[in-house]
Structure 1
Amino acid sequence: MKGYKYSLSLLSLLYLLTNYGKGMENAMKFPDMKGLDDLSALNDVQIKDIFGLTGDEVKERLTKLFGVIDKNQDKVLSDEEITAWFEYVKNEVFLKQVQIEMKQIDADKDGFISLPELNDAFSQNLDPKEVEKHADGLLKRFQIVDKDKDNKLNLNEVGLLIDPMKDNDLKELEINEILEHHDTNKDGKISVDEFKETRSDDPNMKKDDELALDDFNFFDVNRDGFIDREEIVKVYFDPSNDAATLNLNDVKNNIFEGKPITLDLWNEKSLKFAVTSLTDYGDVIRYPQDFKLDIGKNVVLPSSKHRMGDDILNLDTDLSDGKDKEDESGDASDKQNTTDEL
């Protein structure tokens, strides 16, 4: 599932202004229907190599998917229905990614993540100086997301750690750290020169280049030559920059050419969007059971060596076993290891 990927990291300004900013630009430069995602010109053998299904079988699953998205069953997909679908896919991918992260970090397999486990996971493959540099930030994040203050994180709390936009305290921490890092003269805003000087600790990275200016302008919404707190909030947390909103516009304009998305038009265009954000780039069609969808069974591709679904086959059992161990020791009576809040 590659539509929405999350990774456990500290969202420093370097990450925010380089990775997030460029990601938004790429979303506009490389929208759906600009690459090899149009299957309509392929034959059945080629389609089966990609999906493990024939063209007709792909179309059949997509027809069933229309019924899933079309909540009011009027055979026309509204903006609200498409946006809700993108949110559903994003949340399903996010939940599975959190489960994978939790399984990897939970060294003692008790179903929770302790601060030492988090520190160990974060410090892997990092220079000791980098680990020390971010130790305080990691501790602050751990303390913020440990909502019941029992010094360990359950699945919901790990989800907050991975996606700070779900928690107001984490949002505030991120914004303060951005200003602390880049606002070198402490006047409450970031100038172009401040950004160029502080955008990277890499001495080999050019400080005065076109990419730096592009990244700066992405956040300088009012084009006054400064990035202030309000602009950081607007770009970082504005719902209009959410993937679901961007994907909605992409789908309407690039795939369905601004026309009402009826069942007939959906079926007509089905092979043109089979590998786009509408299907999480094909994974909804290949692995519908991973998305809790009743449109067919998961496909096993001969060439598949790895996919996210394979990582979570035993997660429920693993997490349950950890919970049982906690129950037996009497330590987990108040801790809920549930996904309901994700």
Structure 2
Amino acid sequence: MLRSLFVALAVSAVFAGVPTPEETKRMMGHLSDAEHFKNEHHNKQYDHDAFLGEDQAKAFDQLPPEESKRRLGIIADKIDSDKDGFVTLVELKDWIRYTQKRYTEEDTERHWRQHNPDNSEKLAWEDYKKNVYGFMDEMSEKEKNTPNSEGFAYASLLKRDRRRWHYADADQDGSLNRTEFAAFLHPEENPTMRDVVVLETLEDIDKDKDGKVSLEEYIGDMYKPEDGEDDEEPDWVKQEREQFTGYRDTNKDGFMDEHEVKDWIAPPEFDHAEAEARHLVFEADADADEKLTKAEILEKYDLFVGSQATDFGEALSRHDEF
């Protein structure tokens, strides 16, 4: 499913400072779609919160609707690179790739300056660890090793970051240059980091820690009925059960192992930008001519401000572009 792959691979790994344990699911690329897709309805606000952070999302939400639409119209004109009055699938795909590359570069630069204020050629693991996790020195070993505690959550994040650092460290000298640091921050953007993304995904979903994903773990990570809901699952959940048994579990042993998880979240030759572009065109193309007018884009305003075409709404709040 596009939604699962999208949430899994489009997430930045490290934010300024250390997140609270409640934020770790988003930070570490957790595949939870329980809030993103709730009872078959797409919750567009999730895109704002998950990919912008709540503070930026709230700032965007405070823009008057007409001003937001005006800015979205300007973006639509930019996407229409040949200025023929239509946004084609190719133009939308190119724009999505551009916005993702810009976001990755800007995010890497911001964190590189934060963790390497002297702009040294390389950043050592010990310096990064002290900067981000130094507060853990005040924690007792009991705090760090008590399951479900805050200390345990941070200890797990530290362990995961250390492993990701190792994968990103191409020359294995213990330090990262800016290119390697970008791979550490955004492993989903670097093919050499694919294995660690798969490991992190598997660990997040594998609740009983047996090294594989059961059908119930797979479903439970996407769908959690709210209190008071009846036992009848939405149709999309039933379809996901069929996807698991029919396609995800290729060896039919009732589980997804590491290789099957990799085929799921990082299928060969999958083009994320094209998949997202096709999704947007399908949703907004009112006359089914496989291209979008500005009017069609504005008509689906709420869809586009929660999509990667506008950096999940961020581009709408950039005053320097308008």
**What TM-score comes out, normalization by structure 2 length?**
0.57
CA contact (8 A) 1:146 1:157 kept: yes
Cα separation, 2, equivalents of 1:118 and 1:236: 29
Percentage of matched positions with identical amino acids? 17
Structure 1 236/125 Cα, relative in aligned 2: closer, same or farther at 3 Å? farther
TM-fit CA distance, 1:31: 5.2
Deviations along 1:23-71, one digit per CA (max 9) or x if unpaired, are 48725742559999xxxxxxxxxxx98436x83x655544442332123
- How many residues are matched? 255
Q: Tell whether 2:269 aligns with 1:263.
A: no
Partner SS for 1:142: helix
Q: Tell whether 2:201 aligns with 1:170.
A: no
Q: Tell whether 2:258 aligns with 1:229.
A: yes
Match of 1:88 among 88, 93, 98: 98
Structure 1 286/270 Cα, relative in aligned 2: closer, same or farther at 3 Å? farther
Larger RCO: 1 or 2 (CA < 8 Å, sep 6+): 1
Cα separation, 2, equivalents of 1:59 and 1:105: 37
CA contact (8 A) 1:33 1:273 kept: no
Q: Report the AA paired with residue 124 of structure 2.
A: S
Which residue does the alignment assign to 2:4? none
Deviations along 1:183-229, one digit per CA (max 9) or x if unpaired, are 9998x854458x69xx9xxxxxxxxxx99xx7x95866445421023
CA contact (8 A) 2:284 2:292 kept: no
Can you give the 5+ residue segments of structure 2 that lack an aligned partner in the other structure?
1-6, 16-23, 49-59, 137-142, 146-151, 222-231
Q: Report the AA paired with residue 125 of structure 2.
A: L
Q: Report the AA paired with residue 63 of structure 2.
A: F
Q: Which structure shows the higher helix fraction?
A: 2
Q: Tell whether 2:75 aligns with 1:71.
A: no
Structure 1 24/106 Cα, relative in aligned 2: closer, same or farther at 3 Å? farther
Structure 1 149/274 Cα, relative in aligned 2: closer, same or farther at 3 Å? closer
Q: Report the AA paired with residue 123 of structure 2.
A: I
Which residue does the alignment assign to 1:275? 305
Partner SS for 2:256: strand
Can you give the 5+ residue segments of structure 1 that lack an aligned partner in the other structure?
37-47, 200-209, 297-342
Q: CA RMSD in A?
A: 4.9
Partner SS for 2:32: helix
**What TM-score comes out, normalization by structure 1 length?**
0.54
Structure 1 172/67 Cα, relative in aligned 2: closer, same or farther at 3 Å? same
**Which has the higher Rg, Structure 1 or Structure 2?**
1
Deviations along 1:92-138, one digit per CA (max 9) or x if unpaired, are 22222223333333366646421112222453566544466666654
Cα separation, 1, equivalents of 2:115 and 2:46: 37
Structure 1 133/69 Cα, relative in aligned 2: closer, same or farther at 3 Å? closer
Structure 1 251/154 Cα, relative in aligned 2: closer, same or farther at 3 Å? same
Structure 1 23/88 Cα, relative in aligned 2: closer, same or farther at 3 Å? farther
The 5 Å alignment of 1:302-321 reads none
Q: Report the AA paired with residue 275 of structure 1.
A: V
Partner SS for 1:22: coil
275-284 or 260-269, larger mean C-alpha shift: 260-269
